[in-house]
């Protein structure tokens, strides 16, 4: 433990010395070097964020958590602190503003998503009920819902007669995401729902014939469905997207696709992408039954995390649900 502490302080002091030498040699502070030598996007913003958080200056440390309306003044204060002439370095202020908008925006988005996750579904709230009924209409346009409490809900992947019980884990966030998917990517959502309900044929092998009689095989060769319930998986993928967000893993993606502050719409279009990709991943994995869900989900989670380690990664820049956001 003592050696680790000594090594930590040694590296910290060494790093500060290296930054001091670099400034003397280049005539630029660390923020300038990052902005001038790193291309826009996640690479630049994450380096700026790390530099600000690791600074010994209280002003720089707190700049990553200011209100969006205070960003311009904060940049002016940083320029004064670093003795940087904005007339000689006009691009620096523009670059810092873009980075801070993304950093502060990510923090605010996390808070907004957390608020939705904590808000429970309330069947007495007309807005909540309206969203739920709209979800049904989007996914089952030709099948009127016979009653609010109905076994029909199982047709779109809820577990029982009343979907409100399935929203407990993710609160309103689960419903927001499912409805966004059904409204913005209706064709894909309907295809995924249809696939999840289709029987999956299994070929008879010699091993199977040796284990089962012909009559038994006829009963077993058709699975109940491809293997999962659409709505329940949507809520589960909402949980996956939520964890990617709060862990900071989605910074790579959002800093590359959102030129300014990432919004709830960016989070929801990412959810749409994850739903589509998980569906393809599930089919490729071809698990024997739903009992394999957690294993497949964890493997999919690791694959997404690996992709997000690439600073140039943008999960879904050309995904259908994100088209309106790309042109913002």
* C-beta neighbour count of 229 within 10 angstroms: 22
Do 31 and 63 lie in a common domain? yes
Query: Could you tell me if residue 61 is inside a domain?
Result: yes
State the pLDDT at residue 23: 44
Query: Could you tell me if residue 101 is inside a domain?
Result: yes
Between CA 126 and CA 130, with CA 127 as vertex, the angle to 5 degrees is 85
State the pLDDT at residue 199: 61
Q: How many residues does the chain have?
A: 328
State the pLDDT at residue 112: 98
State the pLDDT at residue 14: 45
Q: What is the mean pLDDT of each run of 10 residues along the chain (328 residues)?
A: 56 47 56 92 96 93 94 94 86 92 97 98 97 97 94 95 94 98 95 82 50 51 62 97 98 94 95 95 87 94 96 79 45
Do 107 and 150 lie in a common domain? no
Query: Could you tell me if residue 325 is inside a domain?
Result: no
Do 63 and 173 lie in a common domain? no
Positive or negative: CA dihedral 207, 209, 213, 216: positive
Provide CB contacts within 8 A for 148, sequence distance 6+.
Answer: 129, 133, 162
State the pLDDT at residue 291: 87
What's the pTM?
0.82
Do 179 and 274 lie in a common domain? yes
Domain total in the chain: 2
Task: State which of 117, 135, 157 marks the end of a domain.
Answer: 117
Distance, CA of 166 to CA of 157 (rounded, Å): 10
Do 182 and 145 lie in a common domain? yes
Helix, strand, coil in percent for the chain, rounding step 5: 70, 0, 30
Question: Which residues form the domain of 296?
Answer: 124-309
DSSP count for the chain of H helices, then E strands: 16, 0
State the pLDDT at residue 89: 81
Task: State which of 56, 89, 117 marks the end of a domain.
Answer: 117
State the pLDDT at residue 265: 95
Query: Could you tell me if residue 46 is inside a domain?
Result: yes
Going by C-alpha positions, the residue among 9, 92, 111, 103 that lies closest to residue 53 is 103
């Amino acid at each position: 433990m003592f050696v680790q502490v000594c090594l930590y302080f040694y590296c910290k002091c060494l790093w500060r010395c290296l930054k001091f030498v670099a400034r003397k040699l280049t005539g630029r502070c660390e923020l300038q070097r990052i902005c001038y030598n790193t291309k826009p996007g996640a690479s630049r913003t994450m380096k700026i964020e790390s530099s600000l958080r690791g600074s010994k200056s209280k002003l720089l440390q707190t700049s990553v958590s200011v209100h969006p309306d205070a960003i311009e003044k904060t940049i002016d204060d940083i320029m004064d602190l670093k003795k940087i002439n904005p007339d000689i370095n006009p691009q620096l202020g523009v670059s810092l503003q873009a980075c801070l908008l993304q950093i502060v925006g990510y923090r605010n988005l996390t808070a907004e998503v957390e608020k939705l996750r904590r808000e429970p579904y309330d069947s007495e709230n007309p807005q909540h009920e309206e969203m739920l009924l709209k979800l049904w209409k989007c996914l089952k346009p030709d099948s009127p819902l016979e009653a609010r409490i109905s076994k029909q809900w199982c047709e779109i992947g809820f577990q029982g007669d009343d979907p409100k019980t399935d929203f407990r884990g993710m609160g309103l966030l689960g419903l927001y995401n499912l409805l966004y998917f059904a409204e913005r990517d209706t064709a894909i959502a309907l295809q995924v729902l249809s696939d999840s309900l289709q029987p999956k044929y299994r070929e008879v092998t010699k091993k199977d014939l040796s284990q089962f009689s012909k009559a038994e095989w006829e009963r077993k060769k058709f699975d109940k469905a491809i293997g999962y319930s659409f709505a329940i998986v949507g809520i589960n993928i909402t949980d996956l997207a939520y964890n990617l967000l709060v862990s900071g893993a989605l910074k790579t993606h959002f800093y590359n696709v959102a030129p300014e502050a990432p919004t709830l719409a960016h989070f929801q279009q990412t959810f749409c992408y994850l739903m589509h990709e998980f569906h393809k991943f599930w089919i490729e994995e071809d698990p024997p039954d739903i009992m394999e869900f957690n294993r497949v989900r964890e493997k999919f989670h690791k694959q997404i995390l690996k992709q997000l380690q690439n600073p140039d990664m943008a999960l879904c820049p050309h995904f259908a649900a994100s088209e309106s956001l790309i042109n913002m």
